[in-house]
Amino acid sequence: MQHRTTIAVGLLATLLLTGCSSSGDGNSKPSSNNAGLGAEWAPKLEAATTAAPAVCNKVGDQACADHLTDIALAVGKLDSAVNDAGGKSVYPQTTALIAKNSTAVEAYTTHECLGDENAGISGSPCPDDVQTILSTAAALPFALQADEATQ
């Protein structure tokens, strides 16, 4: 578990640094159409990702699946908003994380993690699916910020 936490923290730090260390040429202009997407979606993503401590310690439990569903719904709505605001060309880091999150949600379903008493054992793909869903959703506000900083 310590290793996964280290990876998640590293990912968040990388995204934050990427957003803060833009080496713009001075010619980029903020887009008035897209400037508010990060500000609008950060609280929504935070609300979706906030849960009781240890809600996904047992990745096959209904409580974990409910939490992951809340995240998937929020990320799906964000995906629509990003597409309406220019998609991958305007939000490349954000769309990459959304795709990774969606792939992990599909994997959680394909691996039939919900209700599987062995979902959390060593060798099961379910903990990795859950970790990817949680970490990508948590990183999305930083990706939005980084993408908007380059506009």
Q: What is the pLDDT of residue 70?
A: 96
pLDDT tens digits along 84-141: 999 999 999 999 999 999 999 999 999 999 999 999 999 999 999 999 999 999 999 9
| 36 band by pLDDT with thresholds 50, 70 and 90 | confident
Instruction: Write out the two tokens for 77.
Output: 């709505």
Q: What is the pLDDT of residue 35?
A: 55
Q: What does the pLDDT look like over 38-70, one tens digit per residue?
A: 999 999 999 999 998 899 999 999 999 999 999
Q: Which two tokens stand for residue 29?
A: 């202009």
Q: Which of 49, 48, 46, 41 is nearest to 78 (CA)?
A: 41
What's the pTM value of the predicted model, to 2 decimals? Answer: 0.76
Each residue of 69-104: b (16+ CB within 10 Å) or e? ebbbebbeebbebbeebbeeebbebbbebbeebbeb
> Which residue in 145, 72, 144 sits closest to 103, CA to CA?
72
Closest CA to 114 of 123, 122, 105: 105
Mean pLDDT is lowest, of 3-17, 76-90, 116-130, for 3-17
Backbone φ and ψ for 81, nearest 5 degrees, come out as -65, -40
Domain definitions of the chain by residue range:
42-149
